[in-house]
Structure 1
Amino acid sequence: MAAPLHEPRPAGPGRRLPDNQQGMRRRNLARVMHTVSAEGPLSRAAVASRIGLTRAAVSTLVDELIRSGLLDELGPERPGRVGRPGSALAVSSGGPVGIGAEIGVDHLAVCAVDLRGVIRARAVRHGTHRGRAPQPVLTELSGLIAQVVAEVEGEGLRPAGLAVAVPGLVARDGRTVVRAPNLGWHDVDLGSLLPSDLPVTADNEANFGSLAELWLGDDTPRDFLHVSAEIGIGGAVVVDGQLLRGARGFAGELGHVPVRPEGPVCACGGRGCLEQYAGEEAVLREAGLPPGRDRVEQLAERAAHGDPDVLRALSDAGTALGIALTGAVNLLDPQAVVLGGALAALAPWLLTSLEEELARRLAGPACTVTVSRLGSEGPLLGAAHSVVRAVLDDPAAVAGQN
């Protein structure tokens, strides 16, 4: 779960609350927000019963959240309930929004998501960024961010923060891109180069994709390995509902696991990495197709029509994925492997060879392999929703701004 994007603020013009009382209030505000977000619309009484507080205490918390524009009262609950109907509460559709951005090798994208999970604005720009200096790319991204922010502010919404998904390693400071091989970037401080009035965080695109799967997927387990593909292969590990980040924040780099140690040189400097056999460009090359826009759609269309070169390339990619995943599954024992990004669209022609390879190599029982319904939208949605989750985690920080 994303960390709150704002530091705790003083209690206001009156006396400062003791830390324990202040902390308890913040936690209870978050409990109310998460409960209404997950189960609403709910009455105050229903919220109180779910979180174990008195109705009076919950009513005080709810009134504060309504004044802050975080909750809406929808009117009396639906008829048919016993007793006097309460007023139904829902998270606000007109308050804070999370701004998510994605830097891809061949595209930029920005979206705004409100507290109900509805996309309120979106902007996309296509064009290759391989080998481009960071500043021009980030200047273009800033223009898209400004476009989306202007659109939501025109609707009376207020951005709560900005989260950026990048195809590379991001330091634990949440702003420095240590290395993005497919972009050619090293030690890029997004926080200083990306002009924004919003709090900015950054993370690996696969991490955001896995969080989107956890928060928005259909019955996603709390322990899974998420694998996605665009130009490269991304991986992320979720354990008990939390990202496994590793000592430096770089865990999950499945794309650079060698599947054939004497294979071709990879952009990371290694040889025979998974990306060289299952990344989009590798599959296109093996299928005899040129790179370009709509390449995944092109592969899927040709595979559906039985193109033997495409079918062979996708089957070989599935085998390579199975080899790389075997080590990860044997080591981590996840409940499932979830395929996202381009892999989701190409799954019908990848899964057979992938699952055969896993079944042949795994030391333990077979691991379930599922396909994400989010597809290539996962990283962008995960970034935007991470800001929304930060608001739910610490609504007092937002309340303190009003």
Structure 2
Amino acid sequence: MTAPLHEARPAGPGRALPDTQQGMRRRNLARVMHAVSAEGPLSRAAVASRIGLTRAAVSTLVDELIRSGLLEELGPERPGRVGRPGSALAVSGRGPAGIGAEVGVDHLAVCAVDLRGDVRVRAERQGTNRGRSPGPVVEELARLVREVAAEAAAEGLWPAGLAVAVPGLVARDARTVVRAPNLGWQDVDLGALLPGEFPLAVDNEANFGGLAELWLGSGTPRDFLHVSAEIGIGAALVVDGSLLRGTRGFAGELGHVPVRPDGPRCVCGGRGCLEQYAGEEAVLRAAGLAPGEGRVGLLADRAADGDEDVRRALREAGTALGIALTGALNLLDPESVVLGGALSGLAPWLLPSLEAELARRTAGPPCPVSVSRLGPEGPLLGAAHSVVRTVLDDPAAVAGRG
């Protein structure tokens, strides 16, 4: 049976649970967790009002979540309210944590995020991974994961799962990297290489960046196209709060849309792909600069100082992005476009030519383009928060595991 094109991954309660009394209890536990996570601190009465259950039912659920270490009581609510003050509830800053990891072309990064959404520990290793065998790279990543997990444990946190963002195509088994051209990887089973100490999920870095924008972005709509532009360029289409993944899970490869069919050869095997004009290394080449660590910051500094070579390279990159995005906008009609990744820091010089191209080529009114405040941190944060969401979606599944 063909997998659905539009795969729903609920942003709130809604994970499929058995339609039994036990399943209903688990769904209600999730509803309580999401209410307190989104709006807390809240009293039991306030939670009951928001999710439509009786105070007695909510009190029973809250007591279970407190015993599991997922919620905590902060003491009486602030004075001035009519009636007997209730005890304010908040998501615990201890207990389960989401471990997010990112395999980049030129770095590895790992972080631990608690159920409140706070980054508690972060570790990073700079250095190229291009052309390296997957084994040593994943071994280094595993060491960073263990370091982060140990530091998190010292703060009373334990890993509820590990999610890894990679710059490539990921199979629907959520563990196999089918192809990552900028790394030189093909058919790499990360599940077999990483330690199996906790649940694992692997996904494309642009997908995690798009989910981070959905969950953490300020004022981001539930329908948008997120462009993650770094050395490679990917995209994530979010429709009604869920990712549009495609039949095989490979949707969003914007970087390999040809903008000039007779252009230079791309690592994917095609010619004239967007990455050859708007990827980080392509922009550096066009500006006459060598690739290296901190190059995006150098581009921004030189553009701000009026370096015409850099500004011209960024204008051309914006034009190429606009050409590639035009096809996506005419076909999919998203509500907005969000520019993320490392190149979001170059938006002042990219956007004018990008938006001019969209205005010239799109069939309907121009689609608004905004810049992600998450920047290059989006994929890593999206990975960690995806684990946190699984806990909020089914807190009963992690109760007692720590």
TM-score w.r.t. the length of structure 1 is 0.95
* In structure 2, C-alpha distance between the alignment counterparts of 1:68 and 1:252, rounded to whole Å: 39
- Written as runs of structure 1 = structure 2, the 5 A alignment for 1:258-297 is 258-297=258-297
How many angstroms apart in 2 are the aligned matches of 1:190 and 1:348? 38
SS of 1:173's equivalent in the other structure is: coil
Q: Distance in 2 between matches of 1:157 and 1:322?
A: 44
- Compute the displacement of 1:158 (Å): 1.1
Tell me what 1:49 maps to.
49
Listed as ranges, the gaps of 5+ residues in structure 1 are 9-17
| Aligned-partner Cα distance in 2 for 1:124–1:2 | 28
Aligned counterpart, 1:254: 254
| CA–CA separation in structure 2 for the residues paired with 1:258 and 1:109 | 31
Work out the CA distance in 1 between the residues paired with 2:153 and 2:282.
42
Identity %: 80
Matches within 5 A, 1:2-401: 20-399=20-399, 401=401
Do 2:100 and 2:384's aligned partners in 1 also have CA atoms closer than 8 Å?
Answer: yes
Equivalent residue of 1:251, what SS? coil
Deviation track 1:46-87 (CA, whole Å, cap 9, x = no partner) reads 000100000000000000000001001000111121111100
Per-residue deviation, residues 294-322 of structure 1 (Å, max 9, x unmatched)? 00000000000010000000000000000
* Amino acid across the alignment from 1:87: S
Q: Distance in 1 between matches of 2:196 and 2:285?
A: 39
CA displacement at 1:401 relative to structure 2: 2.9
* Cα offsets for 1:139-190 (capped at 9, x unmatched): 0001100100000111221110000000000011100000000000000000
Equivalent-residue separation in structure 1 for 2:59 and 2:156 (angstroms):
26
Query: Once the 2 structures are TM-superposed, how far is the Cα of residue 196 of structure 1 from its aligned partner?
Result: 3.6
Distance 1:2 1:175 in 2: 17
Detail structure 1 runs of 4+ shifted over 3 Å in the superposition: 1-4
* Structure 2 counterpart of 1:117, one-letter code: G
Task: Work out the CA distance in 2 between the residues paired with 1:307 and 1:157.
Answer: 48
Number of equivalenced pairs = 391
Q: Distance in 2 between matches of 1:74 and 1:348?
A: 44
Question: Contact conserved, 1:129 with 1:137, CA < 8 A, in 2?
Answer: yes
How far apart are the structure 2 equivalents of 1:219 and 1:339?
14
| Distance in 2 between residues matched to 1:107 and 1:42, nearest whole Å | 40
Counterpart AA for 1:44: R
Shift of 1:234: 1.2
Equivalent position SS for 2:203: strand
Q: Which amino acid in the other structure matches residue 241 of structure 2?
A: G
Tell me the distance in 1 between the aligned counterparts of 2:345 and 2:157.
34
* Residues 222-264 of structure 1 deviation map (CA, whole Å, 9 limit, x = unaligned): 0000001111111110000000001000111101000001111
Partners in 2 of 1:325 and 1:291 — Cα distance?
25
Is the contact made by 2:10 and 2:242 (CA closer than 8 Å) also made in structure 1?
no
> Structure 1: how far apart are the matches of 2:49 and 2:156?
33
Task: Give 1:356 deviation, angstroms.
Answer: 0.2
SS at match of 2:20: helix
CA distance in 2, matches of 1:373, 1:19: 40
Cα distance in 1, alignment partners of residues 172 and 362 from structure 2: 32
- Alignment RMSD, CA only? 1.5
Q: Kindly provide the amino acid, as one letter, of the partner of residue 324 in structure 1.
A: A
